[in-house]
């Protein structure tokens, strides 16, 4: 599996190809969301909703063979695309790696300009939630 | 001052769109690399340079507090402020300027009526009628009032096409009805409601009638005497004027019998610690220093509308709406929400069950500004079983070419899920 760093570099490269055209960028983000694995309806609970996002985002996690896996869904395609990027970078990694990850790709691809400040807060909330899950697993491992 | 014949002549001729657009500096810009197409006019319209200039001119030349100062600037500011009130009197054909009260906006105007008329005249067991298509601003104040005074809120249902059920309205009306508060033109659907008929029916039962004119004042001819409404509320910023200014028209005998809204300066006649006597209308309802600059600049917005003429404006906007509807109806997955026969220039729709926000973001990427969501009309969205819509609302400066761009973008967006 490529490193967090390598995946981020791939993403930055993909967005560079899209260039400045915002419409293609938005369409591309939505397509990324389309490719997320199906999220079970029974997991779309109030408990799994990430607080602080304008649209609904559900996130679940599990630990298999010492790796943290994330599953997510959203009621808007753009948000789904955004979280798919985070999943691509962070899912299937050790809790410590997730905690230590510096997600510089978000700034590099100009996400703030693409989604605006309100959405950026939502994106930050998603990252925070993913890191919180990782922290919970890490403290279990450390205990 | 132009003479009447000139003005009438001007109203008859086709609007010169290029000339109108030049008056709106904000329209001349690129958004995300594409020319801006501003279709969020039901939220707020853009401002012509004469409004912007009036604001600047006021602060550079006349700035002063009004109604009090013994100096020249104060009397100049007062005169300009009252000039807007007089223009509004003509604009809505109010019997007198004293029946025109300045507020912060339509929401404030409605809250004023709920807090004063409502407090005094709506008692336990009384009923207030509103409709399913009201903006939250014309729901929540009445809910709060009814809860406080132990009154009942009754709701007029809406048909599938987005029209009020007048038969149901007649059945809701009774001697218990003290007030009916209904929107003139729906912000979410565009439906123009037959308020004149509804007002007459309410009056037969002795009920008072408030018209929420936020979406009609810039688009339809409003004559409060012909309507015979008891209250008419609207906002400057939805009619090419500045933000932060609203208007409440009320019939004199009602305004005089209502208690004041807020306490403070301006609204008093005499204050002693034993007793305060209140000022005459309209000042009784205008406590504190008002939004002087924006009220003064509002006059320039009224002049802008009057110069073009409401009929010419309505004609242009109807052309835009028809064109938008005809083109977009051809898109697979396009579902209009609100298909009333009589509409202001609002095109509300869903597309392929996509989330409205996604559509809004994709349109924005093409430089097209629309509103998405429930439009502060959640009960109405529930009625249609949807979370929200995409809303394109047109103003006099919009063009057929801009609407063609909307169509082309929507056609691309729709393909994503087809």
Q: Distance (Å) from the C-alpha of residue A134 to the closest C-alpha of chain B?
A: 30
pLDDT at B2 over 50: no
Note the pLDDT of residue B345.
97
Note the pLDDT of residue A115.
82
- Do the chains contact at A75 and B355, CB–CB below 8 Å? yes
Residues 6+ apart with CB under 8 A from B251: B99, B230, B231
Domain of residue A106: give its range.
Answer: 4-142
Instruction: Answer for the pair A7, A89: CB distance below 8 angstroms, yes or no.
Output: yes
Supply the ipTM of this predicted assembly: 0.87
What are the phi and psi torsion angles at A110 (to 5°)? 70, 35
Q: Strand B268-271 and strand B276-278: pairing?
A: antiparallel
pLDDT at B273 over 90: no
Q: State the average pLDDT over residues B369-390.
A: 95
Note the pLDDT of residue A141.
83
pLDDT at B11 over 70: no
* Higher pLDDT, residue A129 or B277: A129
**Paired tokens of B241:** 């004027």
Residues 6+ apart with CB under 8 A from B110: B137, B138, B141, B181, B210, B212, B233
B246 vs A95, A97, B115, CA distance in Å?
A: 56, 56, 16
Starting at the edge strand that comes first in sequence, how are the strands of the sheet with B152-156 ordered?
Answer: B100-103, B246-250, B231-235, B208-212, B177-183, B127-131, B152-156
Note the pLDDT of residue B228.
98
The residues of B whose Cβ lies within 8 A of any Cβ of A are 32-33, 354-355, 357-358, 361-362, 364-366, 387, 416
Quote the distance between the C-alpha of residue B337 and its chain's center. Answer: 20
Note the pLDDT of residue B251.
98
Cβ atoms < 10 Å from Cβ of B294: 23
Q: Distance (Å) from the C-alpha of residue A119 to the closest C-alpha of chain B?
A: 11
Note the pLDDT of residue B318.
97
B180 vs B168, B203, B248, B376, CA distance in Å?
A: 14, 10, 16, 20
Residue of B33, B356, B357 to mutate, testing the A interface (most A Cβ within 10 Å of its Cβ): B357
Report chain A residues whose CB lies below 8 A from the CB of B33.
20-22
Per-residue pLDDT tens over the stretch B44-64: 999 999 999 999 999 999 999
* Start-end of H helices in B268-374: 292-308, 310-328, 356-365
Q: Distance (Å) from the C-alpha of residue A26 to the closest C-alpha of chain B?
A: 7
pLDDT at A85 over 80: yes
pLDDT at B163 over 90: yes
**Quick check: A118 contacting B, CB < 8 Å?**
no
The ranges of chain B annotated as CATH 3.90.1150.10 are 4-47+309-415
Report chain A residues whose CB lies below 8 A from the CB of B354.
77
Considering its fold, how many domains does chain A have in total? 1
Note the pLDDT of residue B181.
98
The residues with which B334 forms a beta bridge, in sequence order, are B351
Q: What is the mean pLDDT of chain B?
A: 94
Note the pLDDT of residue A58.
95
**Quick check: A120 contacting B, CB < 8 Å?**
no
CATH number of the domain where residue A21 is located: 3.90.1010.10
Residue of B354, B365, B390 to mutate, testing the A interface (most A Cβ within 10 Å of its Cβ): B365
CATH topology of domain B4-47+309-415: 3.90.1150
pLDDT at B13 over 60: no
**Quick check: A30 contacting B, CB < 8 Å?**
yes
Please check whether the domain covering B54-306 is classified as CATH 3.40.640.10: yes
SS3 category, B339: coil
Q: What is the mean pLDDT of chain A?
A: 91
Instruction: Answer for the pair A74, A55: CB distance below 8 angstroms, yes or no.
Output: yes
Note the pLDDT of residue B418.
64
Separation of alpha carbons B110 and B261, rounded Å: 11
Report chain B residues whose CB lies below 8 A from the CB of A77.
354-355, 358
SS3 category, A23: helix
CA torsion sign for A29, A35, A37, A39 is positive
What are the phi and psi torsion angles at B410 (to 5°)? -65, -40
Instruction: Answer for the pair B301, B48: CB distance below 8 angstroms, yes or no.
Output: yes
Separation of alpha carbons B226 and B185, rounded Å: 17
Report chain B residues whose CB lies below 8 A from the CB of A78.
357-358, 361
> Which chain A residue lies closest to B366 (C-alpha atoms)?
A23
- Do the chains contact at B358 and A78, CB–CB below 8 Å? yes
Note the pLDDT of residue B8.
52
- Catalytic position from the list A11, A29, A50, A53: A53
- 3-state helix/strand/coil string of B114-176: HHHHHHHHCCCCCEEEEECCCCHHHCHHHHHHHHHHCCEEEEECECCCCCECHHHHHHHCCCC
Peptide bond into A103 cis (omega under 30): no
pLDDT at B155 over 90: yes
Residue of A26, A29, A73 to mutate, testing the B interface (most B Cβ within 10 Å of its Cβ): A26
pLDDT at B173 over 90: yes
Q: Strand B127-131 and strand B100-103: pairing?
A: unpaired
Instruction: Quote the pTM value.
Output: 0.92
Q: How many CB pairs under 8 A join A and B?
A: 33
Residues 6+ apart with CB under 8 A from A137: A63, A68, A95
The ranges of chain B annotated as CATH 3.40.640.10 are 54-306
- Do the chains contact at B33 and A22, CB–CB below 8 Å? yes
> For this structure, is B328 an active site residue?
no
Q: State the average pLDDT over residues B188-199.
A: 98
Per-residue pLDDT tens over the stretch B21-32: 999 999 999 999
Among the partner residues A23, A55, A78, nearest to B366 by beta-carbon distance: A23
Note the pLDDT of residue B265.
83
Note the pLDDT of residue B1.
44
Q: Distance (Å) from the C-alpha of residue B111 to the closest C-alpha of chain A?
A: 28
Per-residue pLDDT tens over the stretch A89-129: 999 999 999 999 999 999 998 888 888 877 778 888 999 99
Over the range B55-66, which residues count as b (16 or more CB within 10 Å of their CB) and which as e? Answer: bebbeeebebeb
Note the pLDDT of residue A64.
93
pLDDT tier at A51 (50, 70, 90 boundaries)? confident
Note the pLDDT of residue B330.
96
**Paired tokens of B359:** 């559509």
Separation of alpha carbons B398 and B300, rounded Å: 20
- Do the chains contact at A23 and B361, CB–CB below 8 Å? no
Report chain B residues whose CB lies below 8 A from the CB of A54.
357
Q: State the average pLDDT over residues A3-19.
A: 94
């Amino acid at each position: 599996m490529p490193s967090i760093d390598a995946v981020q570099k791939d993403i930055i490269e993909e967005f560079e190809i899209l260039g400045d055209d915002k419409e293609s960028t938005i369409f591309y983000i939505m397509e990324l969301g389309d490719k997320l694995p199906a999220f079970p309806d029974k997991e779309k609970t109030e408990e799994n909703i990430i607080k602080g996002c304008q649209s609904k985002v559900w996130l679940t996690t599990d630990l298999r063979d010492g790796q943290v896996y994330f599953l997510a869904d959203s009621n808007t395609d753009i948000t789904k695309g955004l979280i798919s990027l985070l999943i691509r970078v962070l899912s299937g990694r050790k809790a410590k790696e997730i905690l230590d990850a510096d997600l510089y790709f978000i700034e590099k691809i100009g996400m703030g300009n693409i989604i605006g400040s309100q959405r950026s807060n939502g994106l930050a909330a998603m990252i925070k939630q993913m890191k919180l899950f990782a922290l919970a697993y890490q403290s279990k491992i450390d205990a | 001052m132009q003479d009447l014949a000139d003005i009438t002549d001007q109203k008859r001729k086709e609007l010169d769109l290029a000339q109108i657009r030049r008056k709106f500096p904000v329209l001349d810009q690129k958004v995300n690399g594409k020319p801006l197409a501003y279709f969020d006019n039901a939220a707020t319209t853009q401002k012509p340079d004469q409004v912007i200039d009036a604001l600047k001119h006021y602060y550079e030349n006349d700035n002063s507090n009004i109604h009090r100062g013994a100096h020249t600037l104060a009397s100049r500011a007062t005169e300009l402020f009252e000039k807007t009130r007089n223009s509004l009197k003509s604009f809505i054909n109010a019997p007198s300027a004293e029946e025109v009260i300045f507020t912060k906006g339509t929401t404030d105007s409605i809250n004023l009526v709920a807090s004063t008329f409502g407090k005094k005249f709506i008692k336990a067991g009384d009923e207030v009628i509103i409709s399913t298509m009201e903006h939250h601003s014309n729901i929540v104040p009445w809910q709060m009032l009814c809860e406080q005074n132990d009154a009942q809120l009754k709701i007029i249902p809406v048909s599938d096409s987005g029209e009020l059920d007048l038969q149901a309205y007649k059945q809701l009306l009774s001697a218990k009805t003290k007030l009916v508060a209904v929107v003139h033109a729906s912000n979410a659907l565009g439906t123009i409601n037959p308020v004149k008929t509804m007002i007459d029916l309410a009056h037969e039962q002795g009920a008072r009638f408030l018209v929420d004119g936020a979406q009609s004042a810039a688009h339809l001819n409003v004559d409060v005497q012909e309507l015979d409404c008891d209250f008419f509320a609207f906002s400057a910023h939805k009619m090419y004027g500045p933000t932060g200014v609203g208007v409440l028209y009320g019939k004199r005998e009602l305004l005089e019998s209502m208690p004041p809204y807020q306490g403070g300066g301006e609204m008093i006649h005499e204050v002693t610690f034993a007793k305060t006597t209140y000022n005459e209308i309209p000042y009784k309802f205008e406590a504190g220093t008002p939004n002087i600059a924006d009220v003064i600049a509002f006059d320039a917005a009224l002049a802008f509308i009057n110069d073009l003429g409401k009929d010419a404006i309505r004609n242009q906007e109807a052309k835009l709406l028809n064109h938008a509807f005809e083109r977009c109806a051809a898109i697979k997955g396009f579902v209009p929400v609100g298909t009333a026969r009589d509409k202001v220039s609002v095109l509300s729709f869903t597309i392929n069950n996509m989330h409205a926000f996604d559509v809004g973001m994709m349109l924005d990427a093409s430089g097209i500004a629309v509103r998405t969501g429930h439009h502060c009309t959640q009960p109405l969205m529930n009625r249609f079983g949807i979370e929200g819509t995409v809303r394109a609302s047109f103003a006099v400066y919009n063009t057929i070419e801009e609407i063609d761009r909307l169509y082309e973008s929507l056609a691309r967006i729709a393909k994503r899920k087809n």
